[in-house]
Amino acid sequence: MVIHNILGDLMKVVVAIIAFFVFAILFIVFLGVSSHAGTTLNASGSITAGGTYQQVFAAAPGRNGCVIQNNAASAMWVFIGPVASATHDTSYQLPANSLVPFTCSGPSGVQSDVISIDGTTAAKFFANQW
């Protein structure tokens, strides 16, 4: 009984820590979106034809950052590079109704190539770049 209570309490702590980090990441990402002084481009929309990648953002050497969030009940895939080269195996998968978005900035800098997306027809996504 004591072990059961300890494991239950430990699970609550682990869930709280994970939730804290998810919200901290989202806060940092969206703080970056709202605090940037430059122009933003909202390219939110829906998948026009499932199984076919569609361009979300054109190549932009001056891009400071971007975020794409899956708002659909099915998975989506984000690809960086020429749309003709996009496959699910070479893309980042965004789980259904994902709380953690794809961002085009990381330790090696900001991706400036074309960014495209694929998913189920009519599935909605949020996309913004700055």
Taking only Cα atoms into account, the Rg of the chain, rounded to an integer number of angstroms, comes to 17
Whether residue 73 sits in one domain with residue 11: no
| 4-19 average pLDDT score | 65
CATH number of the domain where residue 64 is located = 2.60.120.770
Q: Give yes or no: residues 82 and 56 share one domain.
A: yes
Strand order in the sheet with 54-57: 54-57, 115-118, 76-80, 92-94
Indicate the number of domains in the chain: 2
Is there a single domain that holds both residue 112 and residue 76? yes
Closest to 58 (Cα-Cα) out of 82, 29, 84: 82
Output the six-digit token pair for 28: 């940092």
Same domain, 121 and 61: yes
β-strands 92-94, 124-129 pairing:
unpaired
Whether 66 and 80 map to the same domain: the answer is yes
Question: 49 with 15, same domain?
Answer: no
* pLDDT, average across residues 19-47: 66
Are 44 and 28 contained in the same domain?
no
Tell me: pLDDT of 27 over 80. Answer: no
Q: What is the pLDDT of residues 44-97, one digit of tens each?
A: 999 999 999 999 999 999 999 999 999 999 999 999 999 999 999 999 999 999
**Residue 6 structure tokens:** 């300890």
**Structure confidence at residue 10 as a pLDDT band (50, 70, 90):** low
What pLDDT shows up at residue 34?
Answer: 47
Q: Are residues 69 and 28 in the same domain?
A: no
Indicate whether 14 pLDDT > 70.
no
Same domain, 23 and 73: no
| Phi, psi dihedrals of residue 30, rounded to the nearest 5° | -75, -25
Which of the two residues, 22 and 46, has the higher pLDDT score?
46
Average pLDDT, whole number, for the chain? 84
- Domain encompassing residue 3: 1-35
37 pLDDT higher than 60: no
